[in-house]
Amino acid sequence: MTTPITLKERPMRIPLIPVLAFAAVAASAIGLTSCSSSDGGDRAASDSTEVVMFSPTSSHPYLAAAIAGATEQLEADGYTLTAVENNFDQTEQDTQVQQYLASGEKPAGIIWWPADSSAGIASLSRLHQLGVPIVQMNQTPLPESEEYFTAYAGVNDTLNGQVGGQLAISARDTLLEDGFTLHSDGGNVLQVTGPPSYAATTNRLAGFANSTADAGFNVVGTLNADSLTPDAAYNVVAQSLQGFLAKGVDIVYGLDDNLAAGAAKALAEAGVQPGKDVAVVSSTCYDLAKNTVDGTFFATGLTSPDYEGLIAASTLATLIGNGGTTDGDEYEFPADPDSLPDLERTPAKYNYLPNPPITGAFDDPATAATNVASFKLWGQGIDQLCNF
């Protein structure tokens, strides 16, 4: 059984363990450890206490925080984590998997964060042949990959998009209450998202569309940034913003705070002030949710990378201990503001983080700051959960 920790027990900016960088050399030079379990638990398919995590690079702050959360939880459960990182490149990740398999090592379990959910299935199927529990995280698996992983534990990007849609509806209602005249009967929406090949982009847009199907929104455009950074969003929005402003924009939906921030900067430079002239909403907070605190954004959603790493790790530790047994199809961890949920429960096939909304205010920074400061999830506030 896992030994759940709470984020209160550790500093939020944890130095990461050294990351294994697989070079184009013999995989036997990796030097991975293999030893007996320190806690005497049932390892089922391996006597190792090492968990290997294949993921995109920790140079992205979300990845760094997620790896830190996973590392802490695994250490609490008697395991060590080796992170094998790629530069959001599935071809690079495929090579790393091939080199790891050639080493002959067999870990206690694997955490799999694919660079591309679809293109990564071949590598996932190869890892499956090791016969150890595999937990996929962050990128929702495709149906054709279900036989290759034991469980999924992480964000539900469809849910995140649904929350973004609900926040957009709330923003539209607030605009009307404040006496705004919308540019269409239901309001004009500009969507700013990530690369179209990234699963989160597809799933969040689908969730947004699902939750706003009856809202009467007029989506005037969907812009895909080439990466999940403010600069990438700024560049793509600035290039075409005048055409959208000619139609009128009431609400901007950003896939996450980084993309929403880039869009907000482009709007401000064009003389349209976010939080006064247009409502901006997001699905995932960043950087202490500062844009929601200061009123630039109307609202955002809470997807904590520390918590995502924690539930992926605790799910894997449970699966290692119970021989890979799951119970049920889906489970969503409750969004309790005060208490950490039961991490020792037998995992479902799909185990989802909640994405509670963080609503600030429109054209009222003081109220926005007060609202955000009162937000908590599992006993932690914005200073912990969005501090990356």
**Given the structure tokens 């469980």, which residue do they identify?**
151
pTM: predicted TM-score of the whole model, two decimal places = 0.84
- Residue 22 has what pLDDT? 32
> Which of 79, 30, 82, 91 has the alpha carbon at shortest distance from 58?
82
> In the structure encoding, which two tokens stand for residue 85, read together?
């990182």
Strand-strand pairing, 376-377 and 380-381: antiparallel
3 state SS for 57-74: CCCCHHHHHHHHHHHHHH
- Residue 197 has what pLDDT? 79
- How many residues are recorded in the chain? 388
- Residue 2 has what pLDDT? 52
φ and ψ of 279, to 5 deg:
-95, 130
pLDDT tens sequence across 46-93: 689 999 999 999 988 889 999 999 999 999 999 999 999 999 899 999
**Given the structure tokens 């239901």, which residue do they identify?**
186
CA 171 and chain centroid, separation: 23
Residues of the chain with pLDDT under 70: 1-46
